[in-house]
Chains A and B, each alone.
Chain A
């Protein structure tokens, strides 16, 4: 393609030049002819002779034909380009284009993306023109984030520190609140049980035996429904609590180390300016709380004090070249979004990135196999590890994905297979079986643990 376009360019220039020269030459000869004719205006015979000669020379030179030829050359190359373009297959993937994407949802995602980049003007304009809306709290969150980021770009950590302290305080309050909420829930559940029992008693007193039967059935059914409801709520709460717990732990850890890095960056700044005393005071004030977790780094930072006159830069170049600040920027984004409960990167951007490579694979396959709307694609789209956010276990024996009903099972030797493949190995009432990967014998009732990834 490149060569074609180069060719196009050159031929275009050629034709331009050709036509230009030919036209100017004709104009010249015309003008000279005009001069002659006007000079010879009295003698008509001479005039016509000159004209005849000039006309025959025009015929011979055939300038108009050369002009047309050169234009045709250009046309020829252009049509080559056109043919090449037509030969490229079209972009369409029918199974994707058949699924309509709601305009509003897409607009909302784009507006979110624009706010995340920090372009609030553009985002507002876009929302005006498209007519869609976004929850205002999101915009507020992003405005705050970009304010703090802006300060960090100028190497000012004060607002970031404030934010860190605020979030740590809120987390402490939250844990206290959770305990209170637990107590209230227990009270509510006990109330429900007493109400149901009262209902049963009243109804039994009122009705005859036949009706009593039916009513008892009803009540038992209701009990079951409510039991199931409660169970499900408990499960939800459990799962919610589990995830909350892990999330909170993650948040606490990450904010803790982020705070340390803020202080570290400021300390290094002070060292750069050769304000050693202030640096020492600062470190004494802030580094204590991080002694248990970040001792190695603190040692390195303290060691920098030993070097004078900028030798620290040579000894620890990675500390003084600005990369510390750059890491802070990306870390802050991640933590801020984690605390707020939103994804750290724009989902639109991530999905479009993943989609770039996916499009070619989907196109190839859609020509060969029909990709119907099942739950799963018939082939795997190879995707970078950056785009993997959930755990999934595939049994090496049966190649099935593990679910809650068919969980992965840990054997004595440390290998993991799915429960169903273990059952097939136990077939015939056995309790002991060999691991399919190593010759270690596992007892199915004693040594196995079901794993929850």
Chain B
């Protein structure tokens, strides 16, 4: 649903703006020309030549209107097609996610049935096992099919190129028809869709941050991207932000005028911020009278919402401006430095930067897009979903060691000052305090280090980012075999060594077969007999 809004609203906004323009143009010309036409027979004193002239003029005008409208509506139709394409894309994405959900639900159901029927018949158990195997096989098959298609696609592309070299018109027409059919088929292909979605998010990120060249390169490499990403929107926005960075307020003010009604709907204060900045600029030059007049004209409509800000800005009048000299003679400090910090900030770069940020946010919200690029939102949500306590245990242990040493240093300092009676007591006390502090800092640092190179949150860059994010709540146990990397199931339960380490049953069986019934614990290189291992049942 959210995606729908961000995909379709920009098109809608485009269409409605065009409609406004179109309608006003149409209205004007129609009313004007029909007025003249209705008034023709009333001017009886005018010569026939003039009447004919006027009529011809109207003919020209109306035919021009017709042409313009036709051209306009052709572009409108393209936009409507774009809307339809985007909607189709969105619906097929929804289907994909729903399919995955039903898959997961089926698997969960199978697991629950297994638990119930362990008390009951064994035959039903076996049936479920076969179902699960089929599901796994299906997934594997799908994966293989998808890879096959990839391979086939490479061959297809080669064929396409050959066709283009031949270049018959009929073939081209057929190709177009086939392409139209392929559009719908393309959207049914799961993996291609997912890739396209990722690429769409990447291009959106590029354009939002201003990396236009890479963005255009991306759109050229993938089909449909040009129609799915609103390049023009971001380019328009760039104009305004460029002028803001050059400290020019005229273009942003124009933009505000154009979008006034919509900005009101969002309840935005951007226009007020612009006017506030204008006030500051007038003050910077030192024209207090002009500034007061400007404030009288422009600030009253905003009193209801932004009164406190108006107050603080007007306070600038009381202080000397940056270019003024102070009235007090022999002043050591420059006048500008007398100002309290918050007023200095108003005069500085900080306020321009804030303006820019506010603009980029509002500009995008107007068109129904989210404030931050969608890739960032999903990335952050993904961190919350995937992060576990063991992703950070190494990092936190290091941090903790440093803390302990420094704290201990201060402890030492305290003890040097005091005179103690019993050496032992003092030493033990220190050690106890040391231990206590250990406990306070080690809420989650008691986790076992469980390294997995494939875990995305353990990647060094992601790890930095993920510090501030909560981890996912886990309600069911999940044990992964360190040897095979597979999740242990009731059919492949963990086998516990006498020293406490655990590996999956399948791996231990294999090892035992190859080594005459002796299994080695890889972490400690100790050897045991297969019979010494104990099965664990994880509920």
With known contacts A67-B30, A329-B147, A355-B379, A105–B465 Cβ distance under 8 A: yes
Q: Which of B62, B77, B452, B477 contacts A23 (CB 8 A)?
A: B62
A382 touches B (CB below 8 Å) = yes
Q: Which of A13, A96, A350 is in CB contact (< 8 Å) with B456?
A: A350
Q: Which residue of B lies closest to A59 (CB)?
A: B38
Whether a CB of chain A sits under 8 angstroms from the CB of B223 is: no
Mask: chain B, 369-393; 1 = CB below 8 Å from A; 0 = not = 1111011111111111110111100
Structural contact, B148 and A75, CB atoms closer than 8 A: no
Number of interface residues of B (CB under 8 A): 159
Instruction: Give the number of chain A interface residues (Cβ < 8 Å).
Output: 160
Docked Cα-Cα span, A19 to B501, in Å, equals 81
Evaluate contact between B480 and A390: CB separation under 8 angstroms. yes
CB-contact partner of B83 in A5, A343, A358, A388, under 8 A: A5
- Contact status A97-B482, CB under 8 Å: no
Question: A357 contacts B97, CB within 8 Å?
Answer: yes
Q: Collect the chain A residues with CB atoms within 8 Å of residue B457's CB.
A: 347, 351
Task: State which residues 38-68 of A face B: CB under 8 Å.
Answer: 38, 40-41, 44, 47-48, 51-52, 54-55, 58-59, 64, 67-68
Q: Is B315 an interface residue (CB 8 A)?
A: no
Determine the chain A residues whose CB is within 8 A of the CB of B416 once the complex forms: 214
Q: A343: shortest Cβ distance to chain B, in Å? A: 5
Q: Name the residue in B58, B375, B385, B416 with the highest tally of chain A Cβ atoms < 10 Å from its Cβ.
A: B385
Which B-chain residue is minimally distant from A436 (CB atoms)?
B539
Q: Cα distance A51–B537 when bound, in Å?
A: 100
A344 at the interface (CB under 8 A from B): yes
Within 8 A of A (CB), among B425-449: 426-427, 430-431, 443-444, 446-449
Residues of A within 8 A of B26 (CB): 19, 67-68, 71
CB proximity to B under 8 Å, residues A303-356: 321-323, 325-327, 329-330, 337-338, 341-345, 347-356
Contact check, A451 vs B80: say whether CB atoms are below 8 A apart.
no
- Among the 9-residue stretches A173-181, A276-284, A399-407, the one with 4 or more Cβ atoms under 8 Å from chain B is A399-407
Complex interface residues of chain A between 249 and 275 (CB less than 8 A to chain B)? 249-250
CA distance A379 to B416 in the complex (A): 50
Cβ–Cβ < 8 Å partners of B381 in chain A:
93, 96, 354-355, 358-359, 362
Binds B, one of A82-90, A139-147, A192-200: A82-90
Q: Is the CB of B473 within 8 A of A379?
A: yes
Residues of B with C-beta under 8 A to A330: 147
> Within 8 Å CB of A382, what residues of B?
104
Q: Within 8 Å of chain B (Cβ to Cβ): is A380?
A: yes
Docked Cα-Cα span, A217 to B416, in Å, equals 9
User: A378 and B473 in contact (CB under 8 A), knowing A37-B52, A58-B38, A403-B446?
Assistant: yes
In the assembled complex, how far is the CB of residue B103 from the closest CB belonging to chain A, in whole angstroms?
9
B471 at the interface (CB under 8 A from A): yes
- On whether the beta carbons of A37 and B19 are closer than 8 Å, the reply is no
> How far is it, in angstroms, between the C-alpha of A280 and the C-alpha of B378 when the chains are bound?
53
Q: Does B339 contact A (CB under 8 A)?
A: no
Residue interface bits B462-499, CB-to-A below 8 A is 1, else 0: 10110011111111111110110101000000101010
Say whether B2 faces chain A, with CB atoms less than 8 Å apart: yes
Cβ-based interface call for A137 (8 A): no
Docked complex Cα distance between A352 and B448 (Å): 27
In the complex, which residues of chain B have a beta carbon less than 8 angstroms from the beta carbon of A31?
59
Q: A96-B377, A410-B534 are in contact. Are A91 and B447 (CB under 8 A)?
A: no
Is there an interface contact between B66 and A416, defined as CB atoms closer than 8 Å? no
**How far is A452 from B501 in the complex, measured between Cα atoms in Å?**
5
Residues A449 and B380 in contact in the complex (CB < 8 Å), given A55-B41, A250-B485 = no
Residues of A with C-beta under 8 A to B448 = 403-404, 452-453
User: If A8-B80, A68-B30 touch, does A99 touch B469 (CB 8 Å cutoff)?
Assistant: yes
- 0/1 string, B1-38, CB within 8 A of A gives 1: 11011101100100110010011001100110010011
B243 contacts the other chain (CB 8 A): no
Q: Is the CB of A416 within 8 A of B383?
A: no
> How far is A44 from B51 in the complex, measured between Cα atoms in Å?
11
The answer to whether the Cβ of B303 comes within 8 Å of any Cβ in the partner chain is no
A388 to B452, CA, bound (A): 10
In the assembled complex, how far is the CB of residue B1 from the closest CB belonging to chain A, in whole angstroms? 6
A236 / chain B contacts, CB cutoff of 8 Å: 397
Report yes or no: A376 in contact with B471, Cβ–Cβ below 8 A.
yes
Known contacts A92-B371, A97-B372, A388-B478, A48 near B12 by CB under 8 Å: no
Q: Does A172 count as interface, using CB distance less than 8 angstroms? A: no
Contact partners of B462 in chain A: CB under 8 A: 109, 347, 351
B102: Cβ under 8 A from any A Cβ = no
Q: Is the CB of B41 within 8 A of A246?
A: no
User: Does A297 count as interface, using CB distance less than 8 angstroms?
Assistant: no
Q: Is the CB of B473 within 8 A of A376?
A: yes
A81–B372 contact, CB under 8 A?
no
Contacts of B408 in A (CB 8 A): 221, 225
CB of B482 to closest CB in A, whole Å: 5
Residues on the A chain within 8 Å of B77, using CB? 9, 12-13
Number of A-B contacts (CB under 8 A): 425
Q: Could you say which of B272-280, B317-325, B342-350, B519-527 contacts chain A?
A: B519-527
Task: For the complex formed, measure the closest distance between the CB of B87 and the CB atoms of chain A, giving whole angstroms.
Answer: 6
* A224 on the B face (CB < 8 A): yes
B52 and A38 contact, CB distance less than 8 A: yes
From B6, B376, B423, contact of A106 by CB (8 A): B376
**Chain B positions 174-210 with a Cβ under 8 Å from a chain A Cβ:** 194, 198, 201-202, 205-206, 209
From known contacts A129-B214, A355-B377, infer whether A345 and B454 are also in contact, taking CB-CB under 8 Å.
yes
Which of A156-164, A237-245, A425-433 lies on the face that meets chain B? A237-245
Known A-B contacts A55-B37, A355-B379, A390-B452; A91 and B483 likewise in contact (beta carbons under 8 Å) = no
- Residue from the set B44, B151, B461 with the largest chain A CB neighbour count within 10 Å: B461
Question: Interface readout for B319-345 with A: 1 if CB under 8 Å, 0 if not?
Answer: 000000000000000000000000000
B85-129 contacts to A, CB under 8 A, are: 87, 91, 97, 100-101, 104
How far is it, in angstroms, between the C-alpha of A355 and the C-alpha of B380 when the chains are bound? Answer: 7
A445 interface residue per 8 A CB criterion: no
Is there an interface contact between A85 and B9, defined as CB atoms closer than 8 Å? yes
* Interface hits, B492-539 → A, CB 8 Å: 494, 496, 498, 500-502, 514, 522-525, 534-539
Is B305 an interface residue, CB under 8 A from the partner? Answer: no
* Residue of chain A at shortest CB distance from B202: A110
* B2 CB → nearest A CB, Å: 4
Closest A residue to B144 by beta carbon equals: A323
Determine the distance from Cα of A363 to Cα of B482 in the docked complex, in whole angstroms.
35
B55 lies within 8 A of A58 (CB): no
Q: Does B455 make an interface contact (CB < 8 A)?
A: yes
With A58-B37, A239-B449, A330-B147: A51-B2 Cβ-Cβ less than 8 Å: no
Whether the pair A213, B87 counts as a contact (CB closer than 8 A) is: no
Contact partner, B87, options A1, A37, A78, A125, Cβ 8 Å: A1
CB closest residue in chain A, given B23: A71
CA distance A247 to B450 in the complex (A): 12
How many angstroms from the CA of A242 to the CA of B101 in the assembled complex? Answer: 38
Contact of A292 with B514 in the complex, beta carbons under 8 Å: yes
Q: In the complex, which residues of chain A have a beta carbon less than 8 angstroms from the beta carbon of B268?
A: none
In the complex, which of the residues B12, B427, B483 has the most CB atoms of chain A within 10 Å of its own CB atom? B12
A167: interface (CB < 8 Å): no
- In the complex, the answer to whether A221 meets B412 with C-beta atoms within 8 Å is yes
List of A residues within 8 angstroms of B48 by Cβ: 37-38, 40-41, 44, 47
CA distance A382 to B104 in the complex (A): 9
A-B contact pairs, 23 of them (CB 8 A): A5-B83, A51-B41, A52-B41, A54-B41, A59-B38, A85-B368, A89-B1, A96-B377, A122-B221, A126-B211, A228-B404, A321-B148, A323-B148, A343-B455, A343-B458, A351-B382, A354-B385, A381-B384, A390-B452, A391-B480, A393-B479, A415-B536, A451-B536
Q: Which 4 interchain pairs have the tightest Cβ spacing?
A: A355-B382, A351-B382, A347-B456, A355-B378
Known contacts A96-B381, A353-B382, A380-B475; 16 further A-B pairs (Cβ under 8 A): A9-B84, A12-B80, A48-B41, A91-B5, A106-B376, A106-B379, A112-B461, A125-B213, A245-B523, A347-B456, A350-B382, A375-B389, A375-B444, A375-B471, A388-B478, A403-B389
